[in-house]
Amino acid sequence: MLKIENLDMRFGGVVACNNFNGEIGNGQIVGLIGPNGAGKTTIFNVVTGVYKPTAGRILFSPNGSEQHQLTGLSPDRIAKLGVCRTFQNIRLFGELSVLENVFIGNHLRVKSDVFSTVLRLPHYVTEEKRLYEKSLYLLEKIGLQDTRDEKASSLPYGMQRRLEIARALATDPKLLLLDEPAAGMNPQETKELIQFIREIKQEFGLTIFLIEHHMDVIMEISEKIYVLDHGVLIAEGNPSEIQRNERVVEAYLGVG
């Protein structure tokens, strides 16, 4: 699904990511962990086209047969190819309603041109109706159907995180990048989130790449984990391997 090769990202003199290599297979859930400032979000930003990497390349093959080079593409092109994300510091369209937020996620798949939307030609009205139904379905999925008309920024924190996921799902992604989806959640909510991620993965045939600080989430859900420290990959493997890895323990305890 996704292959990252020799990825380098520098900002001026600061090395945010140094020679990172990674691969995510179809239908996998892969975790990315590391202490604060390790460069995790930078990798997400490079994959989704927010930053252009200093060196290296990223290959994306949504269905096995075709392969796209993501490096150098703009974020919207990448989203169209089927890579969507959530943000660590929640970036909802705050003044808009919950339903509108999800509805906007559909826009990139809209086939009608702008004039048929203004004239409300029958083919557009049909399309719009379908998209609203889909958006409502996604809201139901995350349990926010009752708040559909509320302003997104007025929602509690946990709901905002779920709304971001629903918005991303509306773009029909193949690969979903979740940046700390459990941040600020209590154990009960975290448990529900794990269940929810598994569910959507199943239902929408997703591959998931996630950053998380809650170790219990990562260890329970991931098939493979990459560990970053100061921009360098220090370990990779399945959860039990990572838990036993000395370098990982050191990095987290701040020794060495």
Structural contact between residues 234 and 30, judged by C-beta atoms closer than 8 angstroms: no
Burial class (CB in 10 A: 0-12, 13-18, 19+), 195: exposed
Asked whether position 15 contacts other proteins by CB under 8 A, the answer is no
Q: Give 35's contacts (C-beta < 8 A, 6+ positions apart).
A: 229, 251, 252, 254
By CB under 8 A, name the one of 38, 43, 73, 131 that touches other proteins. 131
Question: Could you tell me the two tokens for 138?
Answer: 């996604």
CB atoms within 10 A of CB 99: 20
**Rounded least distance, CB 254 to other proteins, Å:** 23
By CB under 8 A, name the one of 5, 8, 23, 100 that touches other proteins. 100
Q: How many residues bind other proteins (CB under 8 A)?
A: 43
**Positions 152 through 181 that interact with other proteins (CB under 8 A):** 167-168, 170-171
Q: What is d(CA 44, CA 8) in angstroms, rounded to the nearest whole number?
A: 13
**Rounded least distance, CB 167 to other proteins, Å:** 7
Asked whether position 93 contacts other proteins by CB under 8 A, the answer is yes
**Rounded least distance, CB 182 to other proteins, Å:** 20
The C-alpha torsion from 104 through 87 and 222 to 235, rounded to 10°, is: 140
Residues, the chain, total? 256
Asked whether position 120 contacts other proteins by CB under 8 A, the answer is yes
- Fill in the per-residue mask, 48 to 87: x = in contact with other proteins (CB under 8 A), - = not in contact: xxxxx---------------------xxx--xx---xx-x
**Rounded least distance, CB 250 to other proteins, Å:** 29
**Rounded least distance, CB 76 to other proteins, Å:** 5
By CB under 8 A, name the one of 13, 36, 66, 114 that touches other proteins. 114
Q: Give 182's contacts (C-beta < 8 A, 6+ positions apart).
A: 161, 189, 190, 193, 212, 213, 214, 217
Residue ranges that bind other proteins, judged by CB under 8 A: 11, 41, 45, 48-52, 74-76, 79-80, 84-85, 87, 91-96, 100, 103-108, 110, 112, 114, 117-120, 124, 128, 131, 167-168, 170-171
